[in-house]
Structure 1
Amino acid sequence: MGGLIGVVMIVKDEEDKLRACLDSVKNIVDEIVIVDTGSVDKTVDIARTYTDKIYSYPWQEDFSAARNFAIDKCSCKWILSLDADEHLETGAGDLRVLITDTASEAFFIPLKNCISPSGSDFNEIGVLRLFRNLPQYRFFGKIHEQISITDQELVRFSNYPVIIHGYIEPGRRQNKRRRNISMITEQLKRQPENQEFLKYYLGCEWLELGKYQQAYECFWSAYNKLDSTHIFFRSSVIRNLIACLRHMGKFEEALTLCMRETEVYPEYTDLFFDGGVVLEQMGEYEIARRWFKIAIDLGTPCILYQHSNGTEDFLAYYHLGHCCQTIGKSEEASQYYQAALQHNKNFIYPLYGLYMVLATRESCEKIISYFSKQGYIESYESRQALGQLLFASGRPDLAVKVCMQAEGLTMLSCELAKYSLYSGNFKQALDVLQKLKTGSQQNNAEILKTEILAYIFMRDISTAQVKCLEMWRHQTMRAEALSLMALIKRLEGRQQTHITKYEPGFVEHLLNIMADCLRSYSEDSGVFIHVAKCCEELISQFEEGSRTLFAFWQREIKGVEMLLDIRYQNMRGLYSWKKRGP
């Protein structure tokens, strides 16, 4: 044989991902073998800049056949199998040291499957992708193909190298799911002897498509057939069964499964985390806290188990914070939210809870300063989240400042235009909107609505009317255009004509405008108050609108009550306050 390590890949139309994959391995392997199954883009041209071992293979709806063809073309002693949307991280250890002077013939290595564009959210599993180039080691299965090694003494687990599977856009992912379902269903007919594994993979596809009953039936079938010798598949099946039961609202069944299987796998962090989430959904916050603390104490599970990043730290801390906040332990909640952010500052959800706790005792300005010093708002997403919270708190002016602190660069967005608008800076709002109205953004409903409201607040009614007519031309925006035209008529003292077809959307759009006006912060508050009153008058014309208004004011009152309750929690027991209504 030639060198020590060869990378083998099958590709098709991967011009946007292939280069990153090959750059990650080109300096650590001796050979790169690429088998193309019918690309029509620049995939093959890119591949030629890295290797001359490029082969064509007619696609036969069989991943194993294509991969095995690639292995046959490799001359190295060891095979590393990769996909084009993956790349290798070798920083944790030397790949060559791992496979030199070893009696092992294959390694399970970590694969991190990114579930968010940032890459900070991922699931981790162990995959058999590194093995000796021997005739008996070939892939089987037309889809979700695997290498089968009967003598487990020859297989080891390693924490390196790590394969990173890149984030796949939702549309592309959904198309792959439907293709996979068709292929697995056909394979089930031809290979009933592998039913438990095929049912597992089929369940994964249904789960990702949100078909929970179908997924549950597949996982349950696999669960009843898999034993302890297939620990990875069995542990993953258990977690997926719990997910299905949670989505179907069967919390007691999910909890029973968690309790039973944590007895079997007492070291499996993710099961305790899942149990905590189930208990949280059942309203059992104190017990849920104990489960989340166990997950934290256990730490990252071994590679044998399917693992979701964060169940051992930031996710568990976040849920601990939520449980504490819900039962009135706001100081403890604050500590857990901060612990979550310390472990992962890209995980923005603790920001919401921490903000709510701090808002009961600190000014908005002090909260911004504190978040900034702690490094909580360095990312675009975190600044966006804080902007939303500040706007909801009635400080759109501060929301503007947060959105314009992106290392000196303004975050041009519809949100920035909205915050500028409700802080009374109408011209700045229009300037942002004008910059946004390019290309595909030109017919964005939110941009058009914000632009019309800007002219309404500037009392430029004639321009607002012209913009409303432009909006009306778009079939999907007619309910919103109608609500804005009705608002203009009411501001002019005229009555709106009878509305039937667009009534539900009409009420919803006007309620949103009214709510936003209530959160304005400007020296010229009169125009916002006037618009809000006109919206309320228009909504109350309808029976359903009156009910919607009543529900809205109830939510607003409850929000105030909650803040008062947290702020004055030390005085509980010194007074009794009977709240009216349900």
Structure 2
Amino acid sequence: MTERLALVMIVRNEGDHLSACLNSAKDAVDEIIIVDTGSTDDTVSIARQYTQQVYSYQWRDDFAAARNFALSLTTCEWVLSLDADEVLSKTSSLRSLITNSAHTAFHLPLHALKNEDNVLEYDRFMVLRLFRSYYRFHGSIHEFIKVDTPAEIGHAQLPVIIHTPVQALERHHRRNRNIRLLKHALKKNSADPCLHYYLGTEWLGLGRIDTSIGLFRQALSQLPSQQEAFRTATIRHLIHCYKNTGRLDEGLCLCLEESQNYSEYCDLFFDGGVLFELKEEYGIALKWFQAAVQLPEPPLSFFHTDGTNSYLAYYHLGFCAEKLGLYKEAQHYYEQALAANNAYYYPLYPLILLKLTHQSAEAVLDFLRTSGHFACREIAVSMAELFWTAGFPDIALSCLEESACGLPASIELLARCQFYTGKAECALLSLDDLRHNNHEPAADIVIDEISALLLLGRFTEARQRVWGLWRRKSSRDSFWAAFGLYKKLAHNRLITLPSPLAAAALLALAERCTRNRSAYNSQKDFARIVTTITELLHTRADYWELLINDLNQKEAALKQHLAYTFSACRDLLR
């Protein structure tokens, strides 16, 4: 006879998450039982769209009691337990686990997402969520299913439970509730290392790192070696605390000590590499990261951060190699990081900078197109910002046109790139669209806009934008910079700027003009703006000194950039 499977849940005010959870699991189970512990939102009405077995339970600050009440309501032989902010993937594997199984319970992998929009960045835990219905939960907080014979517990790779982050306010509320319940539980059983671990994680989430360190140390001193899930999680949380408080040597001592106990635990070698990297000991860090990528993923029972033996480690290898002047190796590592996880785009920025040392900007743009990176709007906008900063507004414009992103910040950059590629009319239209969507551009963007209007001879509109800056009290220095331009270009009159910050705003505009990539016949327009700025700064000796200092800084930056470029180019082409 086929054994039946029930999804059993307790919920409270989970209207934002419940539908996604139930949709992910409803076709894999024979019965859904939902116990509500006091919702004030639409949780109950959503639950009733999926099952008639929706019950109420008076909350008593005891998670195990509530879950056991829910368990008592099922008639199925097996139970799947989920929280409302979780979804289940690859559900077809559930039936194969429970059919003629020698086990009475299963640990399933839980992927705790770092970012709700990216399912490829997560921490992995193993959690006992699939079990025969005669088992019961224990513990008022961080409740668990107690199985007396460990051999009866199986470890499954599928299905995967995906935990999505909750909003910060709700997360803060849950942590405060959990701390209260954990303190109460510790009064009853102060020797339980797992309670110390859980309390440490809650305080860590609230930023109380010193408190967390004491709790993690206590848990680690008491946890037996066979409790790998808790020991490995405690070790890594403690290393994280040491890193974030600058106690790098203590973190390294822990890495060295525990890597002797867990010689194939890639996460430990990754953490050690990060600590050496923070100490700027890049050569040693390289060796630790290289050790990490040579190791397999740890056993399922180990706490594991995805990517510590692949894309995360390769990214850090690239960073360390670049710091050591090993540019060819750095490029190779960045490429390996992207190959391991194309959605992890952080290596793309330094990779593009390296490519620009020996390839044309157009060739690098073709690389981005053919490698499919523009499929992600966030990447396209980031690359546009990179090319703009590197002095290629035309290539930046191509990136933005590829992404068709409508975010205000990207539209501002789009308008700026249009202007500095000689497409002033297009830039003005883009900013008009932005305002029609009730977003006022940043002050420096408005200065670009005023410059475009002045070059087009649209003096009345330019004057309106100038006085628009005056009405923003925080933009008075930008107003004076724009007003000086307007007076000179529209009326051929020089004014003396009232503040060094206004002069600095004009210097920034001059710098943007020098990076323009417009057609030859538009070059004279940008030269005209730069000439006007020079005349305005010449009205006071201290402003002229600002201009000289700015030119000296640009000269030094150019020399540094050329030194880096030629060093990288020599290494990449050797």
The residue that corresponds to 2:413 in the other structure is: 415
Could you say if the C-alpha distance between residues 465 and 207 of structure 1 is closer, same or farther in structure 2, counting changes exceeding 3 Å? farther
- Counterpart of 1:576? none
The Cα shift of 1:263 comes to 0.6
Structure 1: which 5+ runs fail to align?
573-582
Q: Which residue of 2 aligns with 1:564?
A: 566
Equivalent runs, 1:345-494 vs 2, <5 Å: 345-406=342-403, 413-437=411-435, 442-443=438-439, 446=442, 449-459=444-454, 463=461, 466-467=464-465, 470=468, 478-479=473-474, 481-491=475-485, 492=487, 493-494=494-495
| Residues 508/153 of structure 1: CA separation in 2 closer, same or farther (3 Å cut) | farther
Instruction: Check 1:192–1:330 CA distance in 2 against 1; reply closer, same or farther (3 A cut).
Output: same
Distance in 2 between residues matched to 1:24 and 1:31, nearest whole Å:
14
The answer to whether the aligner puts 1:108 opposite 2:110 as a matched pair is no
Match of 2:164 in 1: 166
Match of 1:25 in 2: 25
Matches within 5 A, 1:289-368: 289-368=286-365
Instruction: Give the superposition deviation at 1:425.
Output: 2.4
Deviation at 1:337, TM superposition (A): 1.1
Equivalences for residues 54-203 of structure 1 within 5 A: 54-90=54-90, 94-116=93-115, 117-134=117-134, 136-142=135-141, 144-189=142-187, 191-194=189-192, 196-203=193-200
The answer on whether the counterparts of 2:266 and 2:309 sit within 8 Å (CA) in structure 1 is: yes
CA deviation map 1:42-86 (0-9, x unaligned): 322222121111012233443333222222222211111101121
- Structure 2 CA distance for aligned equivalents of residues 308 and 20 of structure 1: 24
Q: C-alpha separation between the residues in 2 aligned to 1:209 and 1:513?
A: 43
Q: Check the 8 A contact 2:327/2:572 in 1, yes or no.
A: no
In the TM superposition, what is the alpha-carbon distance from 1:566 to its structure 2 partner?
1.5
Task: Deviation per CA, 1:280-324: give whole Å up to 9, x if none.
Answer: 222222222222122112122111111111112111111111122
> For the residues of structure 2 that align with 1:534 and 1:380, how far apart are their CA atoms?
41
1:575 alignment partner in structure 2: none
Q: Do 2:453 and 2:461's aligned partners in 1 also have CA atoms closer than 8 Å?
A: no
Preserved contact between residue 377 and residue 405 of structure 2 (Cα < 8 Å): no
CA distance in 1, matches of 2:310, 2:148: 36
Q: Deviations over 1:486-523 (max 9, x none)?
A: 21244343234468xxx7xx798777656544543333
TM-score (norm 2): 0.86
- AA of the residue aligned to 2:229: F
Q: Cα distance, 1:349 vs. partner?
A: 1.0
Is the alpha carbon distance of 1:174 and 1:363 closer, same or farther for their aligned partners in structure 2, counting shifts above 3 Å? farther
Separation in 2, partners of 1:485, 1:47: 57
CA distance, structure 2, for counterparts of residue 90 and residue 571 of structure 1? 46
Query: Aligned pair in 2 of structure 1 residues 393, 150: CA closer, same or farther (>3 Å)?
Result: same
* Alpha carbons 2:450, 2:482 under 8 Å: kept: no
Amino acid at match of 1:118: N
What SS is found at the alignment partner of 2:111?
strand
Q: Name the Cα RMSD after superposition.
A: 3.4
Secondary structure of the corresponding residue to residue 331 of structure 2: helix
Aligned residues of 2:223 and 2:231 also touching (Cα < 8 A): yes
- Quote how far apart the aligned CAs of 1:399 are: 0.8
CA distance in 1, matches of 2:541, 2:105: 68
Residues 177 and 424 of structure 1: CA distance in aligned 2, closer, same or farther (over 3 Å): farther
The superposition leaves residues 220-268 of structure 1 with CA deviations (integer Å, 9 ceiling, x where unpaired) of 2322222213211111111111112112222222111111111111121
Q: Does the CA contact (< 8 Å) of 1:490 and 1:534 recur in 2?
A: no
State the match for 2:12 in structure 1: 12
Task: Quote the residue 1:204 is aligned against.
Answer: 201
Q: Which secondary structure state, in structure 1, belongs to the residue aligned with residue 347 of structure 2?
A: helix
Task: Give the TM-score normalised by structure 1.
Answer: 0.85
* Rounded Cα–Cα distance in structure 1 between residues aligned with 2:565 and 2:379: 23
Q: 1:387 to 1:571 in 2, by over 3 A?
A: closer
Deviation at 1:449, TM superposition (A): 4.5
Distance 2:30 2:377 in 1: 41
Q: Is the 8 A contact 2:510 2:533 kept in 1?
A: yes
C-alpha change, 1:138 and 1:175, in structure 2 (3 Å) is closer
1:456-496, Cα deviation, whole Å (9 max, x unpaired): 3422566456446555656xxx43x1221121244343234
Is the contact made by 1:245 and 1:254 (CA closer than 8 Å) also made in structure 2? yes
Letter in 1 for 2:143: E
Rounded to whole Å, the distance in 2 between the matches of 1:535 and 1:64 is 74
**Distance in 2, Cα, partners of 1:44 & 1:263:** 51
Counterpart residue number, 1:520: 516
**Within 2, Cα distance between the matches of 1:534 and 1:249?**
50
**What secondary structure, in the 3-state scheme, does the structure 2 residue paired with 1:192 have?**
coil
SS in 1 for 2:516: coil
Structure 1 residues 451, 189: CA separation in 2 closer, same or farther (over 3 Å shift)? farther
Judge conservation of contact 2:62–2:139 (CA < 8 Å) in 1.
no
Cα separation, 2, equivalents of 1:85 and 1:545: 57
1:16, CA displacement in angstroms?
3.1
- Residue 379 of structure 1 and its aligned partner are, at CA, apart by 1.2
**Separation (CA, whole Å) in 2 of partners of 1:339 and 1:419:** 32
Shift in Å at residue 101 of structure 1?
2.2
Residues 547 and 190 from structure 1, CA distance in 2 versus in 1: closer, same or farther, beyond 3 angstroms? farther
Work out whether residues 67 and 139 of structure 1, in 8 Å CA contact, stay in contact via their aligned partners in 2: no
Q: What's the counterpart of residue 491 of structure 2?
A: none
Q: Distance in 2 between matches of 1:216 and 1:553?
A: 48
**1:319–1:202 distance in 2 versus 1, CA, 3 Å:** same
Q: Match of 1:83, SS?
A: coil
Q: CA deviation at 1:528?
A: 5.5
Distance apart, 1:149 and its partner CA = 2.8
Point out the more displaced range, 241-250 or 428-437.
428-437
Q: Which has the larger radius of gyration?
A: 2
Bigger drift between 508-517 and 364-373 goes to 508-517
SS in 1 for 2:147: coil
Give the Cα separation in 2 of the matches to 1:529 and 1:435.
28
In 1, Cα distance between equivalents of 2:357 and 2:418: 25
- For residue 358 of structure 1, report the CA deviation from its aligned partner: 0.8
Distance 1:417 1:149, change over 3 A: farther
Q: Which amino acid aligns with 1:520?
A: N
Q: Give the equivalent residue in structure 2 for 1:276.
A: 273
Q: Which range is displaced more, 356-365 or 179-188?
A: 179-188
The residue identity in structure 1 corresponding to 2:319 is H
Letter in 2 for 1:96: R
Decide whether the 8 Å contact of 2:109 with 2:157 is kept in 1. Answer: yes
SS at 1:127 equivalent: strand
Are residues 283 and 156 of structure 1, via their aligned partners in 2, closer, same or farther at CA, if it must alter by over 3 Å?
same
2:466 touches 2:483 (CA, 8 Å); kept in 1?
A: no
Contact 2:123 2:304 in 1 (8 A): yes
Partner of 2:490: none
- Which residue pairs with 1:50 in the alignment? 50
Aligned partner letter, 2:415: A
Counterpart of 2:227, as a letter, is H
Deviation at 1:356, TM superposition (A): 1.5
CA distance in 2, matches of 1:535, 1:55: 76
Deviations 1:374-405 (A, max 9, x none): 22332112212211111111111111111111
